[in-house]
Amino acid sequence: SQQGEEDPQALSIQEGENATMNCSYKTSINNLQWYRQNSGRGLVHLILIRSNEREKHSGRLRVTLDTSKKSSSLLITASRAADTASYFCATDSYGGATNKLIFGTGTLLAVQP
Amino acid sequence: DVKVTQSSRYLVKRTGEKVFLECVQDMDHENMFWYRQDPGLGLRLIYFSYDVKMKEKGDIPEGYSVSREKKERFSLILESASTNQTSMYLCASSRRSGTKGYTFGSGTRLTVV
């Protein structure tokens, strides 16, 4: 079952612009995480925001979380061509013996030089 | 550099073959996961394990089994490969709490002909 749905599915911007991706989810969560995937490779963990946090920063990344709307956004500031990748949100909902992540379908970001 | 290693980058197997996908992590993580990734469907959880010899079904376990005899190794088994199991398979591991995110392998692209 898909928990997170990213919006937009694809985004194309110019180098130096900001990129914003949104994620909506359905059930209560412990935390929400964002991952990046370069073409045909594994995913890399970017940032985690807990359910009791509203905003978090890491370098050029800013993540917000609105649990009342069950939504999150990832902002990449001053984008670079190297930021071109797919970005996934993933929700962590404790159920059973351990935590497990449920991923959305991703946003494909293309940054034009 | 800590890592999750998947034994094969590309595999081509015939319909009906028994296929083993191997994953090894060197971070002493308790949790290990197998996902498959298909265009438009994102990542879907097949099986996960929170301890040696323990396993739980994910969202799409049909046609798959797993083995975790040692903490560092988690194997995915396709008992009788079928063409609809052609996909990218991603292994991941995490601490029991999951609060540091997942570490992913580079993926195995499996083609069943």
Digitized pLDDT (tens) for each residue of chain A, 113 residues in all: 446 678 899 999 999 999 999 999 988 888 999 999 998 889 999 999 999 999 999 999 999 999 999 999 999 999 999 999 999 999 987 655 567 888 988 999 999 99
Average of per-residue pLDDT across B56-83: 96
* pLDDT tens digit sequence for B37-63: 998 888 999 999 999 989 999 999 999
Distance between alpha carbon B8 and the CA centroid of its chain, in Å? 12
Of B89, B93, B59, B88, nearest to B73 (Cα)?
A: B93
Q: What residues of B are in contact with residue A99 (Cβ under 8 Å)?
A: 31, 94, 96-98
Query: Which chain A residue has the Cα nearest residue B90?
Result: A42
Of A2, A30, A48, Cβ closest to residue B101? A48
DSSP strand pairing (B108-112 vs B10-13): parallel
Query: Regarding predicted confidence, which is higher, B105 or B100?
Result: B105
pLDDT at A98: 64
pLDDT band per the 50, 70, 90 thresholds, residue B72: very high
Q: Summarize the confidence of residues B83-102 as an average pLDDT.
A: 90
Dihedral angle of Cα B79, B4, B88, B60, to the nearest 10 degrees: 50
Residue of B4, B43, B48 lying closest to A103 (CB–CB)? B43
Nearest to B98 among A92, A96, A104 (CB): A92
Q: Across chain A, how many H-helices and E-strands are there? A: 0, 11
Rounded to an integer, what distance in angstroms lies between the CA atom of residue A102 and that of residue B44?
A: 7
Burial class from Cβ neighbours inside 10 Å (0-12, 13-18, 19+) for residue B14 reads: exposed
Q: Give the percent of chain B with pLDDT over 90.
A: 86
Residue of A nearest to B43 (CA): A103
Question: Is residue B102's pLDDT more than 70?
Answer: yes
Does residue A2 sit at the B interface (CB-CB below 8 Å)?
Answer: yes
A103: contact with B, CB 8 A cutoff? yes
Query: Once rounded to an integer, what is the mean pLDDT over residues B94-109?
Result: 88
Nearest to B74 by CA among B46, B98, B100, B38: B46
Residues in CB range of A29: below 8 A, 6 or more apart:
A51, A67, A91, A92, A93
Q: Where are the beta strands (DSSP E) in A25-98?
A: 31-37, 43-50, 55-58, 61-66, 71-76, 85-92
pLDDT at B86 over 50: yes
What integer pLDDT is reported at residue A1 of this predicted model?
46
Residue A106, min C-alpha distance to chain B (Å)? 7
* pLDDT given for residue A99 in this prediction: 72
- What's the pLDDT tens digit per position in B23-40? 999 999 999 999 999 988
